Structure 1
Amino acid sequence: MSRFQKLSHVLWHCQYHIVWVPKYRYRVLRGPVAEEVYKCIQVFSGRLGCEVVELNVQPDHVHLLVKILPKVSVSEFMGAIKGRTAIRVFKQYPYLKERPYWGNHFWAEGYCVDTVGLDAEMIRKYVVYQEKKERTETK
C-alpha cells in the first residue's frame, strides 16, 4: 500500500510533527482536562479532513503527528485546533478561566512544527516514548 493519498487532482503525503503548550506552560493537562483536549483534537482534526497519526497529551505540552490536506495550511489547522479546544475546555471546566492569569487564553502563543519525511516511524516512536518518560519522571 502506498503512503500517498489521493484527492481529485493531487497525490499527497503531508505529515507534520507539531508541539504546543498551555499558557505559562502550567501543568493543567491532566485527568479530565487532558481527556477533553485529546477528544477535541481528534474531532476537530477530522472535521478539517486531517488524520491524526499519533497524539500524546502531556501535563504541560501536546505532541501531535498529523496528516494535513494540501489545501489546509498548518497555521489554519493550528488556529482551528487551539481555538476550538480552548473554547471547549473553558466551557467544560470554567474554574480554569477564573484564574486571573488565564484571561481568555488557554494556549501559549505559537507552536513548533516539523515536516515528517522518511523518518515518520522514528518520530512516532519518539512521541510514544515521551509519555513513558514522563511517567517514570513523575514517580
Structure 2
Amino acid sequence: MQYDTGSHCVFYHRYHIVWSTKYRYKVLTGDIRLRVWDICRQVCRERGVDIIRGVLSSDHVHMFVSVPPKLAISDLVRLMKGRSSHKIQREFPQLKRRYWGRRFWGRGYSSTTNGAIKEDIVLQYLEQHIADPTAASR
C-alpha cells in the first residue's frame, strides 16, 4: 500500500465509481467514447485525482481512482458527468435529436471504497471487464 500526501496530510483514498448512460443506451462508441474519456481525464487532472484504472463500456463507465481528502466523491462525479454531458451534446448534436431530454447520463452513480475488498480484486475485475464488457455489466 502506497500512501499519497497532501500539504498537511497523508491519505489512501481509493474509490470504484460506476455510472451509466440514460436508459443504458449503448452510445459510448467511437469518437463519443474517446471524447468522454478525455473529458473525465481532464476533470481528474484539474482536481488532483489519479486514475488508477478506467474502463468505458458501451453504456457505462467504471473508474478506480485515488481522490484527495479535500474533494468529495459526489463533487468529482458531478463534475465529470456534468461537463461530459454538456460537451458531448454540444459536439455531437445527433444525440440530442435521438434521445429524450437534455440528460446524457442516467441519474445517480455507484461508489465503493476498497475497504471491504482488496485492491487487486477490483483491478482484476476491471481487466476482465475490458475483455468482455457486456457480460459483467449486469
Provide TM-score, normalisation by structure 1. 0.91
- CA contact 2:6–2:68 (8 Å) conserved in 1: no
Task: Specify which of 111, 114, 124 is matched with residue 112 of structure 2.
Answer: 114
Aligned to 2:35: 36
Number of residue pairs matched by the alignment: 135
Gaps of 5+ in 1: none
User: What RMSD, in angstroms, separates the aligned Cα atoms of the two structures?
Assistant: 1.7
Deviations 1:60-106 (A, max 9, x none): 111100111101001111100000011111121111011251x2100
Distance 1:136 1:97 in 2: 28
Aligned to 1:104: 102
- CA contact 2:57–2:134 (8 Å) conserved in 1: no
Gaps of 5+ in 2: none
Name the % identity: 29
Provide TM-score, normalisation by structure 2. 0.91
1:113 alignment partner, SS class: strand
Deviations 1:19-57 (A, max 9, x none): 110000000001111111111111111111111110100
Aligned to 1:17: 16
Q: Spell out structure 1 runs of 4+ moving beyond 4 A.
A: none
CA distance 1:9–1:112, change in 2 (3 Å): same
Aligned to 1:79: 78
- CA shift, 1:121, in A, is 1.6
- CA contact 2:50–2:67 (8 Å) conserved in 1: yes
- CA shift, 1:136, in A, is 8.2
